[in-house]
A and B are shown apart, each in its own frame.
Chain A
Amino acid sequence: MQEIHIDNSNAVKEIYLDNAATTPMAPEVLAEMTDKMANVYGNASTLYGLGRQAHTIMENSRQVIADSINAASDEEIIFTSGGSEGDNTAITQTAVARQSLGKHIITTAIEHEAVLRPLHALEEQGFEVTYLPVDEHGRISLDDFKVALRDDTILVTIMMGNNEVGSRMPIHEIGEILKDHQAWFHTDAVQTYGLLDIDVQRDHIDMLSTSAHKINGPKMIGFLYKREGINFPSLIKGGDQEEKRRAGTENVPAIAGFAKAAELLTPEAKAEKRARFHGFKEQVVKGLTANGVDFEINGSLEGENLDHVLNIWIKGISTYVMQTNLDLAGIAVSGGSACTAGSIEPSHVLTAMFGEKSPRIAESIRLSFGQQTTSAEIEAFVKNVTAIVKRLKKNHSEVK
């Protein structure tokens, strides 16, 4: 193995509180990938020594990944380019394969765009989609789900946990209901893989998509779990890689890095993470409250929530102004997706929770914690938000 020196002294020094968007790579992942990039360049689908070397690494990684969600077999894991490809494949290809059984699909109003947009495209092709509403905590009702389920439902795609407000969905209960139904059950686990203990057999999950870069792994790699017996044509057509389920030369260093990131997240590590992140949430709430900042949580601190996501409504201060001021202070938070110059799309998640007229839609920011987040950073966040709020309120009163 070659010796590898990594210099990250040029990285921007920021308080990074946008870990639901992406995470920095773990040093172990970086070392693993750098080693594989330097030493293993063979095409994993070839028959000579170099190819076999790459193939072995890939298959060992596949086993690690399969074990991480208690898949029955490593053959149920398909490597993809990430969460969007997993979601697109699960949704679009299920529809292609199963339309003779029905054209009805159930989802929620607060899925990621990588789920909603393929569904919108299917609607244009004559499929019917039921979008389950959510309450103000971002949760669906199982009764609504039961009412929506029909004999001709072919797919249910419901996220495990929401990326904007952190609400968790009743995946186990839905799996129980669907285990004797023709509909396949897909879940977008991009935000939960790496935080929760996932067991696809226990929860009767048929398909599950993830992304490596949300768990301190590399970008542009993910996997789609597909229970044995579920078959559909590959979304990306070409070579016979991944048992003909996903064409394209396998990115072995990224796959190895992904497996390394997954391996680091033992059940104990995940439990520790959840407890620490929950502590950060409480620290934010206590800090802002003590400093007299007028705010509310979008979602809830109680009940089933993702511990790394905290969405807060800072009353009277626009998302954009708060996010920009925090950026100028060197603190990265999310304020929704800016799609065109100067336009922030109103969040479909907050809209589904509070209605389109709610001031929360234009006055909320999302924090999300990661492995590197410290209590001192949370304190700095609270201090800066307080200072910004005080300055802006003063500006306003001067104008009046």
Chain B
Amino acid sequence: MQDNSQTRVVVGMSGGVDSSVVALRLKQQGYDVIGVFMKNWDDTDENGVCTATEDYKDVAKVASEIGIPYYSVNFEKEYWDRVFTYFLDEYKKGRTPNPDVICNKEIKFKAFLDYALELGADYIATGHYAQLTRDEDGNAHLMRAVDQNKDQTYFLSQLSKEQLDRVMFPIGDLVKPQVREIAKNAGLATADKKDSMGICFIGEKGHFKDFLNTYLPAKPGKMMTVDGEVKGDHAGLMYYTIGQRRGLGIGGDGEDNEPWFVIGKDLTKNILYVGKGYHNPHLYATHLSASDIHWVNTIDRGSDFHCTAKFRYRQKDTGVTVHLSEDGQQVTVEFDDPARAITPGQAVVFYNGDECLGSAIIDAAYNKDRELQLI
């Protein structure tokens, strides 16, 4: 077996089963493993209970079971400055941001990586479901996980070569049931722990509306059709996402009895546009424009190429043609078939087969020459 004892790997341990198994596997492979818990958000409630404290206890248990040192590090300030501020700004613009993409780019694979390097680490490892390969030229290739249900390349698509050069994803070749099995066989305390869901600062209970309202005052306004017919009131534009059906408070009406959907927002007039039917034509786009483009490696694919893309997490890939602007700062993405509910603020992530090529942040969606959603 290869001697890994001189290679120091700092594992980002969340107190969940995935990162527990990461630490276990690396330890079994003989690496010099250190577990570090990251605290990015203070969610202490009125009773003084904080899930981070509970999770850190689990990290302590697992690290002791495996026999590795463990520490914790606090990035509350960095998270606030680099992720949460962005998150709120995007909402203020009427967009629907994806904080996990930015959290990976700015915190888990930046602030945390820097910290690990300060501890003398050669690599950091996380419990993300994704795989990394390197070609002869030293280019990192970010590949989908073996477990297609769990694949998290969508959230990792803004990482750079420099970041990926220092990263390991030791469970990307496993499916979730195997991960639990390994944890169980090793008797790890987290073997049966429930998976955590969603964004760290919103927490499990997910009273998202209340949460957002404590940071951004809601401005209620009119809900209407594109023809100007008022259908009711909205509670504040930021609470609605393109394509959303629930929570509008308007039932189907007329003979067709079709449900209503959010089809657009007008930020200046504070209007929420709604339209009837899941397949409402206002929800379908032929192409989108995006910026904040990021490629995982620097392999040149030209300025126009065909690949597949996802417009949100857990969505099937769609065939697309990518057109890069001359300066490389803008991208137009043309769809093979019209796509539904393209949402500004989300990432459009590009794939070539199993390889994640990179991503960009969606600015606008179009149906032929007409801009949709009126944001």
User: Which of B52, B119, B120 sits near A340, CB closer than 8 Å?
Assistant: B52
Q: How far is the CA of A143 from the CA of B118 in the complex (A)?
A: 46
Q: A324, A338, A341, A344 — which one has the most chain B CB atoms within 10 A of its CB?
A: A341
A342–B74 touching, CB < 8 Å? yes
A341–B50 touching, CB < 8 Å? yes
Given the interface pairs A320-B73, A324-B71, the reply to whether A342 lies near B117 with Cβ below 8 Å is no
Tell me which residues across on chain A come within 8 A of B76, comparing CB atoms. Answer: 343
User: Which of B52, B69, B115, B118 sits near A341, CB closer than 8 Å?
Assistant: B52
A321–B39 touching, CB < 8 Å? no
Tell me which residues across on chain B come within 8 A of A101, comparing CB atoms. Answer: none
The residue of chain B having its C-beta at the shortest distance from the C-beta of A395 within the complex is B117
Tell me which residues across on chain B come within 8 A of A320, comparing CB atoms. Answer: 73
Asked if B34 CB lies within 8 Å of chain A CBs, one says yes
Q: How far is the CA of A341 from the CA of B55 in the complex (A)?
A: 9
Tell me which residues across on chain A come within 8 A of B56, comparing CB atoms. Answer: 341-342
Q: A321, A342, A391 — which one has the most chain B CB atoms within 10 A of its CB?
A: A342
A321–B52 touching, CB < 8 Å? no
Q: How far is the CA of A341 from the CA of B51 in the complex (A)?
A: 10
Asked if A327 CB lies within 8 Å of chain B CBs, one says yes
The residue of chain B having its C-beta at the shortest distance from the C-beta of A399 within the complex is B114
B34–A328 touching, CB < 8 Å? yes
Asked if A182 CB lies within 8 Å of chain B CBs, one says no
Tell me which residues across on chain B come within 8 A of A338, comparing CB atoms. Answer: 72
A-contacting residues, B112-159, CB 8 Å: 114-115, 117-120
The residue of chain B having its C-beta at the shortest distance from the C-beta of A324 within the complex is B71
Over the window 330-349 of chain A, the binary record of Cβ atoms lying under 8 Å from chain B Cβ atoms (1 yes, 0 no) is: 00000000101111100000
Asked if A392 CB lies within 8 Å of chain B CBs, one says yes
Over the window 49-88 of chain B, the binary record of Cβ atoms lying under 8 Å from chain A Cβ atoms (1 yes, 0 no) is: 0101101100000000000010111111000000000000
A391–B120 touching, CB < 8 Å? yes
The residue of chain B having its C-beta at the shortest distance from the C-beta of A317 within the complex is B118
Asked if B350 CB lies within 8 Å of chain A CBs, one says no
Asked if A325 CB lies within 8 Å of chain B CBs, one says yes
Asked if B284 CB lies within 8 Å of chain A CBs, one says no
B117–A321 touching, CB < 8 Å? no
The residue of chain A having its C-beta at the shortest distance from the C-beta of B39 within the complex is A342
A342–B73 touching, CB < 8 Å? yes
The residue of chain A having its C-beta at the shortest distance from the C-beta of B57 within the complex is A341
A343–B119 touching, CB < 8 Å? no
Asked if B189 CB lies within 8 Å of chain A CBs, one says no
Tell me which residues across on chain A come within 8 A of B119, comparing CB atoms. Answer: 321, 324-325, 328
Q: How far is the CA of A338 from the CA of B70 in the complex (A)?
A: 14
* 12 residue pairs from A and B, CB less than 8 Å apart: A321-B115, A321-B119, A324-B71, A324-B119, A325-B120, A327-B69, A328-B119, A341-B37, A341-B56, A342-B39, A343-B39, A395-B118
Chain A: residues with CB nearer than 8 A to chain B?
A: 320-321, 324-325, 327-328, 338, 340-344, 391-392, 395, 399
Q: 6 smallest A-B Cβ distances: which pairs?
A: A342-B39, A341-B56, A342-B72, A342-B74, A341-B52, A321-B118
Q: Apart from A340-B39, A395-B118, A399-B114, what 15 extra A-B contacts exist at CB < 8 Å?
A: A321-B119, A324-B119, A327-B71, A328-B69, A328-B119, A340-B44, A340-B52, A340-B53, A341-B37, A341-B39, A341-B50, A341-B55, A343-B39, A391-B120, A395-B117
